[in-house]
Amino acid sequence: MVKYTSLLASLAALVAFAPRPATAWFPGVEQRFVEEKLIDTGSLGLPNDGLVAAFGDFNADQLLDLFYLSADQRSLSLYTWDRTAYHWTEQSKARIRTKSDFIITNVVPGDYNYDGRLDVLLMGGKNPGGWWGDDETVEMQVYLQQSDGSFSASHAVESSGLAQPMPLDASGDMRTDLLGMSSSSNSKPQLWKNTWDESNSTSVFNVTTPPLDLKNFDCKFPSPHFNAFIDLNGDCLADLFLTCEGKSAEHLSYQIWLNNKDGNFTLSRKGDLPRGTKSVSFADMDRDGTIDMVITSCSSVGACDLSIAYNQQIPLCTSSQSQTEPCRDPEALCVADKDFNFNFSTKEDNSAFTTIPISTLIPHSSLITESTSFRDSFPTPPSIGDYNIDGYPDLLVLTSNSGQRKVNILQSRPCDATSCTKEEIRKARRAFRVVEEGAEVLSKIQDAESAHWLDVDDDGSLDILVQRSGNSGASRKAVFIKNNYFHDAFFLKALVLNGACQGWCEPTKAGEERYRPYGVSYSGASFKFTVLDPTGARRSTQYGQLPQSTYLSLGTPYSYFGLGRTNNYVENLFIGSTRHQPEHYINIEGLIPNSQVLIIPFQPEGTKDPSTWRKELYLHPGDWIPWVTIVLGAAILLLGAFVLVLHINEKREDEIERRARLLSLNVRAL
């Protein structure tokens, strides 16, 4: 990417970076991908004896890297992306081999010692998944990245209950803490507070009481659970969504704890999830500036549904809206709505909760909700991403039909009379359709174990990682599907770091070089932005950064936004952190589409405002920039030629007129 020095640029820059079909820069140069469809690019250098367990940016080059778990779940390798060779390359120094009695069940990249380098937290146990007995706890180990690209010896972390602890920033200091159940009591929550200090680097976490009202706490986390750290009341500050056990495995409930910025979370909402809930994910599905829930559920007979619980908040202000109706001003998006609500009622007049049977979308198919060849519970919820960048998130789901495990793209579309109620149509809710045109490579895969969205080459399009069944254990055959569709729309990528360094990180030991903190993964950042569509209507959208990191959820460290079709800049981008201070967010105006914005929320000791945050904008070079330059140059030369010709003609006419006047004067004189 090309670094751009200003967040406000001319319209010429916007035209230069407009979306165009993938092509070579100049005639005669070979194109990597030509056809407008999904293209199978193979494993791109990955072996077939393990599975991709996490995404991250290990070497801080702003390209996505992979953490690769071995088939026996006892070692972890790191593969960095080589853009020139267009494949993944293993970094042998970064290989981690655990003890023989530690089986890895989850990999969570993050900066655990707050030095600006990407570390890794491993979760597991001696015998997860019920093979030859059951584990009663989840063991954890932290490996810290060293200056030479290797990992340190493991730092042991106190074990938790069977439910995997979730990463969050509970203290508001931008450090990664963990929230989970006590190993001694599966009904008592506890906090692994990040207390790393270079002067006392013996332990990473200190187990303490969580910032919750324990007197009224009645939530026992199931395993697997779908806990999340994401903004649900609209103030750009991440809240807690907790999944709780019910009276049976088919009955789960939820609790929403709001972040008060005073060191505590307050219980705000609770209720029952749909019966047979198998997963809960989060995204702004209807592009109204609020985070919704995406829920999958299955009945005892195997019939499965896809449901969306829409977040009901005050809407964005529009020119046609009455002045008496409450609404959000586009300049003040990060204002909490104390009356936000989720309504799970299945009544027909409730447009805030829509349910679509999987059999209606994909006939004769059932939903796959968990992996079948992994030691421990491994849920496979829908992967959410806007592959066609129209501003409405799409889904990747796994289905089974006659023993064939397939990957399906469910493209978001407007509600109509064939699939929605009148109230849902009036509220502009969303429906889905299965993408078939150009997706033949997906239909050929019949042994899929998981599927995820990611931008492989950082070219601005969401590609697909499909992990197919391997030979034994947790082995997979990774297949990367290139998204080579042409979409006449724009995108934006955003990444918030943890503020450990300001631009550059200074080494702590003599002889080491300073380094960039770009690889840090940070959970809890929030993004809200407004953009004008071609009709002049203002749209608001919200995203969360890494809201879920348990059970191999494989979230990308950045957030990827589809902007849809627009002929303008991104008007306002509000970026929220988890800092406990009066102003925890900033607003950036006039962002150029097809770019990546990087926020470093560094604050010197004693500072309590975001004035020192560093903002960097990286433009994505369009493939037709040379052609735009050639056309612009040709236009300048052509216009210059016209001006020159007209100037010469005018001078010639002036000379003729001058001579005529002289002749007239001479005649009169005679």
Distance CA 448, CA 620 (A): 32
User: Are 546 and 466 in a shared domain?
Assistant: no
The pLDDT of residue 378 is 85
Type of residue found at 622: G
Q: How confident is the model at residue 623 (pLDDT cuts 50, 70, 90)?
A: low
410 in any annotated domain:
yes
129 in any annotated domain:
yes
CATH of the domain at 248: 2.130.10.10
**pLDDT tens track for 127-142:** 887 655 578 899 999 9
The pLDDT of residue 470 is 78
Regarding predicted confidence, which is higher, 123 or 503? 123
User: Are 188 and 285 in a shared domain?
Assistant: yes
Q: What is the dihedral of CA 216, 188, 74, 456, to 10 degrees?
A: 10
User: Are 419 and 476 in a shared domain?
Assistant: yes
**Which of 473, 493, 513 lies at the terminal end of a domain, its last residue?**
493
Q: What is the mean pLDDT of the chain?
A: 89
User: Are 522 and 480 in a shared domain?
Assistant: no
Contact in structure between 85 and 105 (CB atoms under 8 Å): no
**Alpha carbon distance, N-terminus to C-terminus of the chain:** 77
User: Are 464 and 508 in a shared domain?
Assistant: no
662 in any annotated domain:
no
Task: Work out the average pLDDT over 509-515.
Answer: 85
User: Are 589 and 518 in a shared domain?
Assistant: yes
The pLDDT of residue 170 is 95
Structurally, how many domains does the chain consist of?
2
Type of residue found at 653: E
Q: How confident is the model at residue 32 (pLDDT cuts 50, 70, 90)?
A: confident
215 in any annotated domain:
yes
The pLDDT of residue 4 is 41
24 in any annotated domain:
no
Q: Which helix (H) or strand (E) holds 426?
A: helix 422-426
Contact in structure between 571 and 539 (CB atoms under 8 Å): no
Tell me the CA distances in angstroms from 304 to 357, 359, 366, 517, 633, one per residue in order.
6, 8, 7, 43, 59
Distance CA 14, CA 21 (A): 16
The pLDDT of residue 130 is 60
User: Are 472 and 484 in a shared domain?
Assistant: yes
Contact in structure between 617 and 7 (CB atoms under 8 Å): yes
2 in any annotated domain:
no
User: Are 353 and 222 in a shared domain?
Assistant: yes
Contact in structure between 613 and 600 (CB atoms under 8 Å): yes
Residue with tokens 């640029």: 9
**pLDDT tens track for 208-263:** 999 999 888 999 999 999 999 999 999 999 999 999 998 877 899 999 999 998 88
The pLDDT of residue 151 is 95
User: Are 474 and 530 in a shared domain?
Assistant: no
Type of residue found at 308: I
The pLDDT of residue 400 is 93
25 in any annotated domain:
no
16 in any annotated domain:
no
**Which of 609, 624, 639 lies at the terminal end of a domain, its last residue?**
624
- DSSP codes, 435-452: --TT-HHHHT--BEEEEE
Task: Work out the average pLDDT over 601-628.
Answer: 84
User: Are 479 and 502 in a shared domain?
Assistant: no
Q: Is the pLDDT of residue 525 over 90?
A: yes
The pLDDT of residue 543 is 96
Q: Is the pLDDT of residue 565 over 80?
A: yes
Domain residue limits at 459: 37-318+327-493
User: Are 411 and 295 in a shared domain?
Assistant: yes
Q: Is the pLDDT of residue 8 over 80?
A: no
Among the listed residues 101, 104, 247, 224, the one whose alpha carbon sits nearest the alpha carbon of residue 165? 224
User: Are 483 and 543 in a shared domain?
Assistant: no
